[in-house]
Amino acid sequence: MTQHLWQVEWLQQLLQQPHTALTQPAIQQLVSAKGGLNSFLQALCQQALQPDQQRLLQLIVAEPQRSIAYYADSLGIHSTTYHRHFKKLCQQLTTRLNDGIAESQPSASFSLPIPPTSCLGRNSEQQTVNRLLAKGQRLISILGFGGVGKTRLALAIAEVQQANYRDGVCFCGLASISQPQLVLATIAEALGVAIGPQQTAAKALQQFLASRHLLLILDNVEHVVEGVTAIGQLLRAAPQVQIVATSRVPLNLYGEYMLQLQPLAVPTKPIASEDLAETPAIALFLERAQSHAAALQPDAATLEAIRQICSQLEGLPLALELAAAHTRVLSPQRLAQQLTNHVLGLKTSIRDLPERQRSLRNLISWSLDLLEPSQQQALHALAIWPAGWTISSASFALNLAETDHALYEILGNLVDHHLIMQVPQTERWVLHPFVRDYVLEQLASAQQQQLAQQHLAWASQLSEAFNQHFASDQQHWLDLFEAEHDNLRAALAWASSNQYPIAALNIAVNSWRFWWARNYFHEGQQWLDQALSQATSQAQTLEPTLHSRALNACGAMAWSRGDIAAAQASFSQSLALYDANNNPIGAAMVRNNLALVAIKQQAYSQAENLFEQNATVFGSNPEQAANYAATLSNLSMLARYRGDLQRAYDLAQQTLRLRQQLNNQWASATSLTNLGAISLQRGEYQQAQAYYQQSLQALQQLGERESIAECLEGMAILAIQAGNYQLGAHRLIMVEQLRESIGAPRSEPEQALLAPWIDQLEHQLDASAYQQLKQQTSLELLKPMIEQALDEGSGVRD
């Protein structure tokens, strides 16, 4: 049996993860030839090395599988210095281990391109491909967006695999050809196969490869993919040949294994500097930057700037290398600032790179040139959608029915070319950010105008549907609007900037319940104010119903933000318009809101009079059942504030029954919250806890944070009542942070009801303990706090 040659990567794996490395047959064979792992490691440690190398080797052998940070700290060096020392040590040891073996090995017939950079962050992918090749997988395609590092990975695999093939590994680049029929001739040239005058390239290759054992690397197949059928025929004629291909699109050949190569991982937030250097994207940028600016020192500030650069460039290796070249004249901190608006402008002066890889624009242009006209037009239409699209919205954007096969064929081809990608765990797709920027940049003004108008029409239809169906399926519509929020923002911004104020106002008025339920109070107020101001400044009179609804929505936003005066002014104007245009239902809905303002002002008699008027209007109309239930709920809340707890309880129960019959999830949850508050005031603490938990369960799914705050506040009071003062304080601190984050202050009546419990807490919990709890509390802990409250058994005492 022919003995393998040691590879540097094999020795690195064996020293770092010995038991995992020994699962690879080639490494196991080499170690067995030395008498087993212990004997092999002892022999390594007996090698004549420099003192610092000897110390490094002995440390790793004595304590394998420790972290890089641990080794670096033990040696008193930085993590990046450790990387260099460890690689140099393994290179030196590999040379010595291969002495005496190489003479018995057949020489490879082919030379591989020498890669100019390291292959960082691809260990998992390398192991996957090496394992598949060892198992006999005939065809492996490495797929991914341009510049993601497919060629570099293929070269790393080729380097490791040379010793495993009797006839070597051949690298064949296809980027230079443009005609699919030249694929086989190019492979023949790379293999050194002469094609006789009476032979075809296919016949010559089949004869040459029939008995050979080799690995063929085909690089950049995507633009000649129509010629790959011949590759499949070649594999059938050469049973000992295996192929690894790099492409942006699948080859779609029988037996093909497709390995999707993603950009390098980038931390989403600052982390410790010793860990940053071990992150593949950052390590790659740092290595390439130091080749241009050798004096660059990876201190904490520099590494954080590099993290920001890597994040802006989506971890795309080619983009990182292009950016790193600029460190000749710019510090990483300055470069991070410059990249904010100039990512597509990245380019290099390096002469030996293919033209398409000298700038991001060239790279994307090359990718788009591979598309058919219908696919290019689809990209133009989809680029207008910043939040991506579903099949339904793509159908609208491309003007194709959801049942039309052409829709799925176009989207499938764009996926195959790695220009669009699916959002994980969703039925949603987005353009690659760099591709979207490029397409928008290339769109002619008139075309962009037409596509934006189409997008605005979609947003208008969606907001109309939301307003019409929200009450019957709130969870679905709130989640849908959350996913589409950036698309709605884009439509509103374009309409406001392009003289479509009525369309913008319609979308804003239809959407206000979403902004209110999901606590986008300030943003909702801004869109409504802007659209209303633009619409009313036009020469024609604004349609009265739309005007009234807009004023009512503005009032709702102001009310939620605690701006009572602004809310009252907007509601009053809205009511006057509804009355003037003889719209009793609209007027009753606004009176409801004016009554809520009166409650905040503690004008309880005025509020009750308004609510009673509404109960008469809504109660006599079966189609207004939801508004009738809302009116009863408000009367219940008012009775609670006035201390009439039995009436409050009876009305709340009636309201809950009505809302459950209507399947109104959010409204039912608020009724449960109200029942919890009533039970708490009545001293029925166990019942209050049950109501709060039922409400919190629903509100957690709906994401309505102001109501969540009300529930947690009630459960904080229950904790204080049970003597668990730390838990009570913790919940109240969270409530304050939650209310502050969404701009929803507590009403004066609620503040008055809470005051006695705050007094009790202050007497039982000293100031230092409270401050410590405050420092430990953040909104990141909201979800576990809710889960703990839901799991909490009955610890309250009635």
Identify which has the larger pLDDT, 119 or 142.
Answer: 142
Give residue-wise pLDDT tens across range 697-721: 888 887 778 888 888 998 989 988 8
Terminal Cα-to-Cα distance of the chain (whole angstroms):
82
- pLDDT reported for residue 339: 67
| Spatial CB neighbours of 591, under 8 Å, sequence gap ≥ 6 | 575, 610, 613, 614
- pLDDT reported for residue 636: 92
Q: How many degrees, rounded to 5, is the angle at CA 631 between CA 626 and CA 634?
A: 125
Give residue-wise pLDDT tens across range 424-458: 778 888 887 777 877 888 887 788 899 999 999 99
Give residue-wise pLDDT tens across range 115-133: 756 777 788 888 899 999 9
Give residue-wise pLDDT tens across range 144-199: 877 788 888 898 898 888 888 888 899 988 876 777 888 888 888 888 887 766 67
Least confident of 269-283, 490-504, 743-757, 764-778: 269-283
Q: In this structure, are residues 594 and 571 in contact, taking their beta carbons and an 8 Å threshold?
A: yes
d(CA 186, CA 175): 10
d(CA 535, CA 236): 70
pLDDT band at 101 (very low <50, low <70, confident <90, very high): low
**Phi and psi at residue 243, to the nearest 5°:** -125, 135
pLDDT band at 1 (very low <50, low <70, confident <90, very high): very low
Length of the chain: 798
The CA-based diameter of the chain, rounded to the nearest angstrom, is 105
- With CA atoms as reference, report the closest residue to 246 among 137, 136, 147: 147
* 100 phi-psi bin (left φ>0, alpha ψ -120 to 50, beta other): left
Q: Is the pLDDT of residue 537 over 80?
A: yes
Count CA within 13 A, CB hemisphere, residue 688.
26
pLDDT band at 531 (very low <50, low <70, confident <90, very high): very high
Share of the chain residues as helix, strand and coil, in percent rounded to the nearest 5: 70, 5, 30
Q: Is the pLDDT of residue 103 over 60?
A: no
**Phi and psi at residue 500, to the nearest 5°:** -125, 55
pLDDT band at 795 (very low <50, low <70, confident <90, very high): low
CA dihedral for 766, 770, 772, 773, sign (positive or negative): positive
Q: In this structure, are residues 699 and 729 in contact, taking their beta carbons and an 8 Å threshold?
A: no
Q: Is the pLDDT of residue 139 over 90?
A: yes
Of 20-24, 196-200, 288-292, 677-681, which has the strongest mean pLDDT? 677-681
pLDDT band at 104 (very low <50, low <70, confident <90, very high): very low
d(CA 634, CA 640): 10
**Phi and psi at residue 287, to the nearest 5°:** -60, -45
**% residues pLDDT > 90 (the chain):** 22
- With CA atoms as reference, report the closest residue to 390 among 376, 407, 413: 407
Token representation of residue 481:
């609007």
Least confident of 172-176, 231-235, 395-399, 786-790: 172-176
Q: Is the pLDDT of residue 342 over 70?
A: no
Question: Three-class SS of residue 709?
Answer: helix
Token representation of residue 47:
């090698």
- pLDDT reported for residue 382: 92
H helices of 370-473, where?
373-382, 391-398, 405-416, 433-442, 445-469
d(CA 488, CA 119): 42
H helices of 99-167, where?
123-134, 150-161
Question: Three-class SS of residue 567?
Answer: helix
- Mean pLDDT of the region 392-406: 92
CA dihedral for 51, 56, 59, 61, sign (positive or negative): negative
- Mean pLDDT of the region 60-86: 82
d(CA 451, CA 463): 19
pLDDT band at 582 (very low <50, low <70, confident <90, very high): very high
Helix (H) or strand (E) holding 686: helix 685-702
- Mean pLDDT of the region 248-269: 85
- With CA atoms as reference, report the closest residue to 656 among 679, 686, 681: 679
CB count within 10 Å of CB 319 equals 27
DSSP code string of 454-493: HHHHHHHHHHHHHHHHGGG-HHHHHHHHHHTHHHHHHHHH
- Mean pLDDT of the region 546-560: 91
Helix 150-161 to helix 8-16 angle (10° resolution) is: 90
- pLDDT reported for residue 794: 57
- pLDDT reported for residue 102: 42
| Pairing of the two strands 139-143 and 256-260 | parallel
| Pairing of the two strands 139-143 and 214-219 | unpaired
- pLDDT reported for residue 391: 92
**Phi and psi at residue 495, to the nearest 5°:** -60, -40
pLDDT band at 105 (very low <50, low <70, confident <90, very high): very low
- Alpha carbon separation from 451 to 398, 448, 464 (Å, rounded): 10, 5, 20
Token representation of residue 137:
């997988």
- pLDDT reported for residue 487: 92
Q: Is the pLDDT of residue 796 over 60?
A: no
Instruction: Give Rg (Cα) of the chain.
Output: 34
Q: In this structure, are residues 786 and 700 in contact, taking their beta carbons and an 8 Å threshold?
A: yes
Q: In this structure, are residues 110 and 171 in contact, taking their beta carbons and an 8 Å threshold?
A: yes
AA letter at 332: P
- Alpha carbon separation from 718 to 434, 643, 693 (Å, rounded): 52, 19, 12
- pLDDT reported for residue 282: 79
**Phi and psi at residue 635, to the nearest 5°:** -65, -35
Give me the chain's average pLDDT, please. Answer: 83
- pLDDT reported for residue 446: 80
Q: In this structure, are residues 551 and 573 in contact, taking their beta carbons and an 8 Å threshold?
A: yes
Q: In this structure, are residues 536 and 558 in contact, taking their beta carbons and an 8 Å threshold?
A: no
DSSP code string of 151-201: HHHHHHHHHHHGGG-TT-EEEEE-TT---GGGHHHHHHHHHT----TT--H
**% residues pLDDT > 70 (the chain):** 90
Q: Is the pLDDT of residue 209 over 50?
A: yes
Give residue-wise pLDDT tens across range 262-293: 888 887 777 666 665 567 777 777 777 777 77
- pLDDT reported for residue 267: 79
Of 76-85, 129-138, 199-208, 439-448, which has the strongest mean pLDDT? 129-138
- pLDDT reported for residue 532: 92
d(CA 470, CA 119): 52
Q: In this structure, are residues 562 and 744 in contact, taking their beta carbons and an 8 Å threshold?
A: yes
Q: How many degrees, rounded to 5, is the angle at CA 597 between CA 593 and CA 603?
A: 125
- With CA atoms as reference, report the closest residue to 593 among 552, 629, 621: 552
d(CA 31, CA 27): 6
